Amino acid sequence: MATIVGGIAVSHTPTIGFALDAHKQDDPAWAPIFATFEPVKRWLREQKPDVIVYVYNDHVTSFFFDHYSAFALGIGERYEVADEGGGARALPAIGGDTQLAQHIARSLVADEFDMAFFQDKPLDHGFFSPMSALLDHDAQGWPVRVVPLQVGVLQFPIPSARRCFRLGQALRRAVESYPEDLRVVVMATGGLSHQVHGERAGFNNVPWDHQFMDAIANDPEALAELTHAEYAELGGLEGAEVIMWLIMRGALASSVKKVHSGYYLPSMTGIGTLVLENTAAALPGEAQARHRAHMARQLDGAQTLTGTYPFDVATSVKAYRLNKYLHELIDASHRRAFLEDPESTFEAAGLSEEERDLVRRRDWRGLIHYGVIFFMLEKLGAVVGTSNLHIYAAMRGEALEDFLKTRNTQVLYSVTGDTKEADSWSEADKQD
């Protein structure tokens, strides 16, 4: 079974990455940052985690307000460094643990956390500023895999401190029920006290920072009771992102061993570091097996439905590249390029030969079996002039005429915006 060996809490600021990249580790103004990071680095080297579940918030870099989620779990294979406006930092991408992420996804939703899931999004300084200072890395990569958990704390309403603590408890159930032997660290970032907007910009509260760091280790239940307004009053509005530390704390046992605590206030943000070793022991019995059964309950039996293929997070990861390619058909320039020179668009998208062949042959059933969600098929159909009904019939292995006989009305339609397309639909030239 997977084991949570401990938790880390650390502030994130652009300051950290800037000082590291500018080689200012020994500069008197910056050195205290790296001094408080050193015990955390040492602990990570000693513990040798396989995976870090990393709780952070994006700073309106990869996540914008056109679709803003409370909790978004990364389920992808790798994560690049985000460009936040002045060019991306010269850091390697970091690999994701897709299998653990998929297990966590199923577990959290089974525990009634309505998660969003993401792939192919670069991570900004909320992730990479502490990671680059705490983990040994080189141009070839990093010593661990990650499962990033992005928390939407910038646009109110946001999750309560209590909700974050409960999510951490659910995260513990998810990790501990994972059947593979993994050493897992849960790391949370954000804060400490700071405010970066309005006339209160520059606000800090050093006594509160120390009180909060003590309470996160020893009395997290009390912190879970505080409101967003109370966090804002005590630590600044942006400092209220420290509720993410409660996700890390909820993932640990009620009693923990404090290995390290450090603090430094260089400029705008109180920079704290905290390492808590988990004291939980694996319990005997079938609790983990029962939890895995609980996770599987909602889809249990669906696998016996002939010709039915639930589109789950595992399928989404497997067929992400092809689904993304087909999704981009909503863009007029991509549609034109596809119709004029499909092979060039296949190459540009990096499609495998199997994926290209499925698209070339309009193998509607094969595309579903591969992992393409149906709503990409109807986009492809609209572009190549194939109605939804032709696609349905092909998936059933029937002639269009036979399939239409099973419908109450024998009509053809698609999602195309050009209804004149219907005049060209015919069974003879659309059955692929």
Catalytic machinery residues: 125, 194
**Closest listed residue to residue 431, CA positions, set 408, 412, 406:** 412
- By residue count, the chain amounts to 432
Sequence-separated (6 or more) residues with CB below 8 Å from residue 370: 319, 322, 354, 355, 358
DSSP letter string, 331-356: SHHHHHHHHH-HHHHHHHHT--HHHH
How many of the other CB atoms lie within 10 Å of CB of 199?
Answer: 7
> Could you tell me if 112 and 300 are in contact, meaning their C-beta atoms sit under 8 angstroms apart?
no
- Coil, strand or helix: which one is 287? helix
d(CA 230, CA 253): 26
State the amino acid at position 175 in one-letter form.
V
**Closest listed residue to residue 9, CA positions, set 221, 235, 241, 196:** 241
Beta bridge partners of 118: 74
- Coil, strand or helix: which one is 36? helix
> Could you tell me if 117 and 72 are in contact, meaning their C-beta atoms sit under 8 angstroms apart?
yes
How many of the other CB atoms lie within 10 Å of CB of 424?
Answer: 9
Phi, psi angle pair for 168, to nearest 5° = -60, -40
State the amino acid at position 106 in one-letter form.
R
> 94's torsion region: left (phi>0), alpha (psi -120 to 50) or beta?
beta
Strands (E), 41-96: 51-56, 71-74, 78-79, 94-95
d(CA 185, CA 248): 9
d(CA 381, CA 415): 8
DSSP letter string, 241-290: GGGGHHHHHHTS-SSEEEEEEEEE--SSS-EEEEEEEE---PPSSSHHHH
d(CA 31, CA 161): 32
How many of the other CB atoms lie within 10 Å of CB of 206?
Answer: 12
